Chain A
Amino acid sequence: MIDDSIIKEHGLTQEEYKRITALIKREPNLTELGIFSLMWSEHCSYKSSKIHLKNYPTSGKNVIQGPGENAGIIDIGNGLAVVFKIESHNHPSFIEPYQGAATGVGGILRDIFTMGARPIATLNSLRFGPLSVPKNKTVMEGVVSGIAGYGNSIGVPTVGGETYFDECYSLNPLVNVFCLGIAKKDKIFYSRAEGIGNPVLYVGSKTGRDGIHGATMASAEFGEDLEQKRPNVQVGDPFKEKLLLEACLEVMEKNLALGIQDMGAAGLTCSTTEMAANSGTGIEIDINLIPQREQGMTPYEIMLSESQERMLIVAQKEKVKQAQSVFAKWDLDAVIIGHVTDTQNLKVKSGDKTVVDLPLRAIINQCPVYNREAKPPAPPAPVIDLNDISFPENYEQAFLQIIKSPGLADKQWIFRQYDHMVQTNTTVLPGADASVLRIKNTNKALAVTLDGNSLYTYVNPRSGGIIAVSEACRNLACVGAKPVGVTNCLNFGNPEKSEIMWQFKEAVHGIAQACKAFQIPVTGGNVSFYNETEGIPIYPTAVLGVVGVIDALDKIMTPEFKAPGDTILLLGENKEELGASEYMNQIHSKKGGPPPEIDLRKEKRVQSLCLKAISKNMIKSAHDLSEGGLAQCLAECCLLGKKRIGCRINLEDKIRTDALLFGETQSRILISLEEDQEDAFKSLAGKRKVPYSIIGKTGGENILIKHLGEKIINIPVQKVYSLWKYSLPGFFKIE
C-alpha cells in the first residue's frame, strides 16, 4: 500500500500523487510509483524551469536538433554536424568526488555517441570551496582525478574549462561536464522505438543496485543524512564504455539500429518510456531478461537502477543478428528484453506477471508544470560604494595577490592530469580563451569555451546571464571563431524558494536576451536545482558552453604576445567599475554589486572587429579581459606561451588606478600587432565605430605599467610567472 510517507520518500507531493491516480484511474503499485517519481522529478521533467526556458531562441537555419533530445546538433558544413551538451554531476561528486565526477564524464559521453557522433572533446566547469580548507582540497583532487581517470582511459581529450573557488561551494561543489562530438549529417540517430514488433536490445553492463534514487537525489537538498545516501554512488567503468562507444558507432555506421538511447539517470525507466513516447508507440519488456549483477533484485530496483555504461537499442528484426555480432566482436552482450508495441503504454512483465502497466502520456507529457513564485530577495544583494573603498598601498602587491589567487592562477596542475591531446586535434591547448580543435580532412576548426561568473549572477542575475553569453562569445572571437550554438548548465538553489526562482528566471531571461542578440540558438543543456546544504544555497551559477567555427586553419589566434616591439592595443573603453570584481573579493574581501555594465550592441561591434582583424591577418594576439581586469589580462599575455615576453604600458585614462588595473568592464579585448599594421587597424576600427587605445609595446624582461606618467607596476615577468605557475601546485604538494 502506498501511504503518505512512501509518497514523500519518493519526492512527490500529495497533489502530484493525486494527479497520478487520476491519470491512471487507480492507485499505482510501488514500482509504478517509483517510475513516476523518477520521470516527474525536477531532473527529468524540468517542471519548475520549463516555463522560463521557453524564452530561449532554439531555432536557426543550421539547427538540426534543438532541446529535447540527448544533445543538440548544429550543421557545420562539409556534410558534418557538431553534437554537444553540458550536464551537471554536482551531488554525486560531493558524496564521492572521484566516482561522481567520473560517472559524470561517462554520462555526457553517452549522450553524445548515442546520437551517432564520435566524442572529440570534453570540457568541465568546476567550483569548489576555498583550498585553505583541507576537505575542499580532497574534493577537488578527487574530482580532477575522476575526470582524468574516465576521460583519459576512454580516449576523449579533456581540452579545457574553468575552475573557481568560493565559500558557497564548500558543501556543494559544482561539477559541470561538457562534451562535443562530430557526426556525419546523414548518420544521426535519435531516441526512437519504431516499428511495431521490433525487438528492444539491452547492451552493456549488467544492472545492479547502483544509484537507486539518484535522479530524485539530484532533486533534493542535502541534509545531515548524507552519510546514509552514500551507498547510492555509482562506479564508472571507462573500459566498458569504450567498448560500448566503438560498438555502438559501428552498429550505427552499418545502419543496424533504428533508435538508441543511453540509460543515464533514471536508467531503464527513462530510456524505455522516452523512446516509445518519442515515436508514439508503446514498449513491453520482461524484467527477467535484464542482465543482472546482483541476486534477488526486485522489478522496482531494476527499473530504477542507475548502473552505468548501459544502452537501449531498437533494431529491425532482420538486423538483430548482425547487430548482436558487432557487439560480440567488442565482447559485449546484446540481449533482447522486449519489443515495440502499438499500445502507447509501458508494460513491464516478470515472466507471465505484469508488474507495470502505465500510459506513456501520463509519465512523459502530463507531469505538472509549475510557475513558481519568483520574488527578489529581501534584503537585496549587497552593493559596494566606491567612495568607501581605499586605494591599495602597494599596487604591485595587490597585483601579485590577484595573480596567484587559485581562481586566476595557472591551471596546468589540473589539465596536465587530463589527456588533452589524444585524437590529435587539439591545436590550442588548455589555458587560452577557448580550446581549438581542428576537424581532420577539412580546413576548418572548432572552438569551445565554458563561461559563467556566479558572483555577477548573484549580485544581478540578469546581467550575470547576459555577460556569461557575451564573454563566452568574446572568448571565441579571440581565437578567431564565430559562435554557432549554445548549451547551458544552470546550477541554482531550491526553486521552491521565491528568491531562488527569481534568480533563475532573471538569469534565464538574460541568457535568452544575449543569445537573441548574437543570433545563436540554445540547443539544450541541463538544470540543476536544489544546490543547497542545510538551507544555504550556492551562488546562482549559470555556465554557458558555446561552440564556434573557424573557417580556415591559418586563422587561429592565440592570446600570448608573439614578439618584442609589437604594439599593444586595447579595444573598448575603461570604466570605473569594480563591483563584483576579483579585486574587491581578493584585496578588500568584499562581495557586492553592481556588476559591470553590458551593452550588447557595443559588445558585438568589438567582437566582429576582432574577427575581421584576425581574418585580415592584421593582429598577432588577442585576449579577452575578464576576471582580474587589464592587469591580469596583460600578465596572461606575457605568461602564456613559451617566450614569456614582457610589456611596457602607459595608461592615460583619468579614472581610479585600481579600477583601471583591476576593473572588469565588459566588451574589451587586448590585441598586439606589428607597428606597420597600426594604420590599417585604426581605419578598420574607425569604420566599425569601436573605441580603442594604443597602450604600449611588447618587449623587455618586466611587466611595466604606468598610469598618468607614474610607475605603478614594474615586476620581472619571471617573478610573476613563478607565483602564477606554482600557486595551485603549492596546495597539493607531495613530499
Chain B
Amino acid sequence: MRFGIVVFPGSNCDYDTLHVLKYVFKQEAFFLWHKDHDLKNADCVILPGGFSYGDYLRSGAIARFSPLMQEVKEFSLSGGIVLGICNGFQVLLELGLLPGAMLRNKNLKFLCQNVHLRIETTDTPFTNKGKPGQVLNIPIAHFDGNYYIDGPGLDKIKKNNQILLRYSSAEGHLTKEDNVNGSLDCIAGLVNENRNVLGMMPHPERASETLLGSRDGHIIFDSIIYYIKNDR
C-alpha cells in the first residue's frame, strides 16, 4: 500500500505519521511536498497534524491554497482515500471536502489529552475493522477542535450516517464532560457523502504502539489497509 503524507510549511505530525506507517504497519509511506503537483501514485493521501502556515489566519485556512491541494481534491473526487488528522481535518473543512467548520475549544485552551471515542459507523473504509459502539482511546492535541455546522447541515450528515467518531465516556456514553472541546453533537470525526474522505481531530498515529499507551489507532489504519487491498 502506498501512503502519501502531505507536508505543508508548519506540519508537525508528518514524521510521526510516516514513522507509524513505515515501521509499525510496514507500508510504503512517503512525503508529498505541498508545492508539487504529484501524488506519486499514492493509494491513500494523509493530511497530517500541525500548524500549517502557523494557523495565523484560521486553522488550515492558508494550506488549502497550496498547489498540491488541487490534486488532492481531484483524487478525492475520483474516490481516492483521504485522511485528515487534526490540522489535516481543519484543512479539509476549509477546502470544502467536508462540511462544517472549527471553533476554538470551549474552555479557550489548547487541549492535549487522551480521550474516548465511540465508533458510530463501521460502514466506511476507515472503520471496517471496528465494531459499532466500540470505544477507542486516542489522544487529541488542538486549540480549534470545537466542531460546528448549521442545523440543516447537521441533519444532512446525520441522515447520511457521516458521523464516524464521537467523544464519549470510557463506557461509550455521550456526556458534556467527555465532550472536552465542546463539539456540536460530540463530533470527533466525520466522512464526506461518498465516504472516502475522513477528517478526525484525534491522532491515531499517536495511539498505535503499546509503548505509547494505546494501540487503538490500529483500527483506523488497519481498516484503510484492508479496504484498499480488498474492497476497492
A and B touch in the complex (CB under 8 A): yes
Task: Scan residues 192-232 of chain B and give those whose CB is less than 8 A from a CB of chain A.
Answer: 203, 205-206, 209, 211-213
Smallest Cβ distance from A179 to chain B, in angstroms? 16
Decide: B107 and A239 in contact? CB cutoff 8 A.
no
What per-residue 1/0 map shows which CB atoms of B1-41 lie under 8 Å from chain A? 00000000110110110011001000000000000000000
Decide: A152 and B51 in contact? CB cutoff 8 A.
yes
State whether A242 and B212 are in contact (beta carbons under 8 Å apart), knowing that A419-B112, A421-B112, A424-B205 are contacts in the complex.
no
8 further A-B contacts with Cβ under 8 Å, apart from A238-B51, A239-B10, are A243-B10, A416-B113, A417-B110, A421-B112, A421-B141, A422-B206, A427-B212, A734-B108
CA of A432 to CA of B200 in the docked complex: distance in angstroms? 30
Decide: B141 and A424 in contact? CB cutoff 8 A.
no
Q: Does A330 contact B (CB under 8 A)?
A: yes
Q: Interface residue tally of chain A, by bracket?
A: 20 to 34
What per-residue 1/0 map shows which CB atoms of A412-424 lie under 8 Å from chain B? 1001111111111
Decide: B54 and A237 in contact? CB cutoff 8 A.
yes
Which residues of A are found within 8 Å of B51, using beta-carbon distances?
Answer: 152-155, 238-239, 242
CA of A154 to CA of B10 in the docked complex: distance in angstroms? 7
Decide: B15 and A153 in contact? CB cutoff 8 A.
no
Which residues of B are found within 8 Å of A330, using beta-carbon distances?
Answer: 9
Decide: B206 and A419 in contact? CB cutoff 8 A.
no
Give chain B's interface residues, CB within 8 Å of chain A.
Answer: 9-10, 12-13, 15-16, 19-20, 23, 49-51, 53-56, 107-113, 139, 141, 143, 203, 205-206, 209, 211-213
Which residues of A are found within 8 Å of B19, using beta-carbon distances?
Answer: 424, 440
State whether A243 and B9 are in contact (beta carbons under 8 Å apart), knowing that A145-B109, A421-B141, A734-B108 are contacts in the complex.
yes
Decide: B12 and A238 in contact? CB cutoff 8 A.
no
Smallest Cβ distance from B29 to chain A, in angstroms? 14
Candidates A237, A239, A420, A429; contact of B9 at CB < 8 Å: A239
Which residues of B are found within 8 Å of A331, using beta-carbon distances?
Answer: 9
Name the residue among A237, A417, A419, A734 with the largest chain B CB count within 10 angstroms: A419
Smallest Cβ distance from A668 to chain B, in angstroms? 29
Smallest Cβ distance from A102 to chain B, in angstroms? 13
Decide: A427 and B211 in contact? CB cutoff 8 A.
yes
Candidates B53, B113, B209; contact of A239 at CB < 8 Å: B53
Which residues of A are found within 8 Å of B205, using beta-carbon distances?
Answer: 424
Which residues of B are found within 8 Å of A152, using beta-carbon distances?
Answer: 51, 110, 112, 141, 143
Q: Which residue of A lies closest to B106 (CB)?
A: A734
Decide: B12 and A422 in contact? CB cutoff 8 A.
yes
Give chain A's interface residues, CB within 8 Å of chain B.
Answer: 145, 148-149, 152-155, 237-240, 242-243, 330-331, 412, 415-424, 426-427, 429, 438, 440-441, 553, 734
Name the residue among B111, B143, B209 with the largest chain A CB count within 10 angstroms: B143
CA of A240 to CA of B108 in the docked complex: distance in angstroms? 24
CA of A608 to CA of B212 in the docked complex: distance in angstroms? 27
Decide: A423 and B16 in contact? CB cutoff 8 A.
yes
Which residues of B are found within 8 Å of A145, using beta-carbon distances?
Answer: 109-110
Decide: A734 and B9 in contact? CB cutoff 8 A.
no
Q: Which residue of B lies closest to A239 (CB)?
A: B54
Decide: B110 and A421 in contact? CB cutoff 8 A.
no
Can you list 11 pairs linking A and B with CB atoms under 8 Å apart?
Answer: A145-B109, A149-B110, A238-B54, A417-B109, A417-B110, A417-B111, A421-B206, A422-B12, A422-B141, A438-B211, A553-B211
Decide: B16 and A242 in contact? CB cutoff 8 A.
no
Candidates A155, A415, A420, A441; contact of B12 at CB < 8 Å: A155
CA of A40 to CA of B51 in the docked complex: distance in angstroms? 39
CA of A422 to CA of B108 in the docked complex: distance in angstroms? 20
Decide: B110 and A419 in contact? CB cutoff 8 A.
yes
State whether A416 and B112 are in contact (beta carbons under 8 Å apart), knowing that A237-B54, A422-B141, A424-B206 are contacts in the complex.
yes
Decide: B56 and A416 in contact? CB cutoff 8 A.
no
State whether A422 and B16 are in contact (beta carbons under 8 Å apart), knowing that A239-B10, A330-B9, A427-B211 are contacts in the complex.
yes
Smallest Cβ distance from A470 to chain B, in angstroms? 29
Decide: B141 and A242 in contact? CB cutoff 8 A.
no
CA of A423 to CA of B14 in the docked complex: distance in angstroms? 9
Decide: B15 and A423 in contact? CB cutoff 8 A.
yes
Which residues of B are found within 8 Å of A421, using beta-carbon distances?
Answer: 112, 139, 141, 203, 206, 212
Decide: A242 and B12 in contact? CB cutoff 8 A.
yes
Q: Which residue of A lies closest to B24 (CB)?
A: A424
CA of A417 to CA of B23 in the docked complex: distance in angstroms? 29
Ranked 6 nearest A-B pairs via Cβ: A155-B12, A239-B54, A153-B51, A419-B141, A424-B16, A419-B112
Smallest Cβ distance from A332 to chain B, in angstroms? 10
Decide: B108 and A153 in contact? CB cutoff 8 A.
no
Which residues of B are found within 8 Å of A441, using beta-carbon distances?
Answer: 23
Which residues of B are found within 8 Å of A148, using beta-carbon distances?
Answer: 110
